[in-house]
């Protein structure tokens, strides 16, 4: 027959094991969605045409705004970003030979769902850094970031316009 001391020790061990099991189950349920969120690659070619509105242009400082519209070709194996259309608006400042551009883009998938990203950086071949700031529909809650840089630029088809393609890379994650 067990003594009272042994019985208390047995109850304490079973209580600790029960707390451990409850904590493990609760922790798995709470953190499972986070563990299931999978970071996926962004890899696409984005071709665009835009217009420029000059605010001021001099040797010392040039500031202009621009609007871009285009279409994207996804190069992920699953064609995630295939046939997205986009519109971007931004401002570029050139001072002392240094360029800085900042702006926002809306990318819309063929179903009409979209995400918004913001970007900033020197632009052109040097590229910009971007990050998602909003999503709708299947893109709701999107997170991620990356870089974009121009890979080709054509002669402007009309004065005050520009045409180019950019390589956009990074990662995204959906809840």
pTM score, whole prediction: 0.76
- The predicted-structure confidence for 72-120, as pLDDT tens digits, reads as follows 998 777 788 899 999 999 999 999 989 999 999 999 999 999 999 999 9
Q: What is the pLDDT of residue 14?
A: 42
- What residues does each domain of the chain span? 1-36, 40-173
Cα separation, 122 vs 155, in Å, equals: 21
pLDDT band at 1, cuts 50/70/90? low
Q: pLDDT, tens digit, for every residue of 32-70?
A: 344 457 999 999 999 999 999 999 999 999 999 999 999
Nearest 5°: the CA angle 51, 75, 144 is 75
What CATH superfamily classification does 40-173 receive? SO1590-like (2.40.350.10)
> Angle CA(126)–CA(77)–CA(69) in degrees, nearest 5?
50
- Mean pLDDT across the chain, nearest whole number? 84
């Amino acid at each position: 027959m067990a003594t009272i001391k042994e019985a208390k020790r047995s109850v304490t061990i079973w209580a600790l094991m029960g707390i451990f099991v409850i904590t493990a189950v609760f922790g798995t349920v709470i953190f499972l969605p986070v563990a299931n969120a999978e970071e996926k690659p962004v890899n696409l070619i984005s071709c665009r045409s835009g217009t420029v509105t000059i605010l001021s242009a001099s040797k010392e400082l040039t500031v202009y705004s621009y609007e871009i519209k285009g279409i994207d070709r996804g190069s992920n194996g699953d064609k995630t970003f295939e046939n997205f259309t986009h519109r971007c608006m931004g401002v570029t400042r050139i001072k002392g030979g240094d360029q800085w551009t900042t702006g926002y883009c809306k990318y819309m998938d063929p179903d009409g769902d979209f995400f918004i990203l913001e970007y900033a950086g020197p632009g052109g071949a040097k590229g910009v850094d971007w990050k998602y700031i909003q999503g709708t529909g299947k893109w709701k809650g999107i997170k991620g970031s990356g870089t974009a840089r121009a890979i080709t630029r054509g002669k402007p088809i009309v004065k005050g316009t520009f045409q180019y393609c950019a390589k956009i890379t990074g990662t995204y994650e959906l809840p």
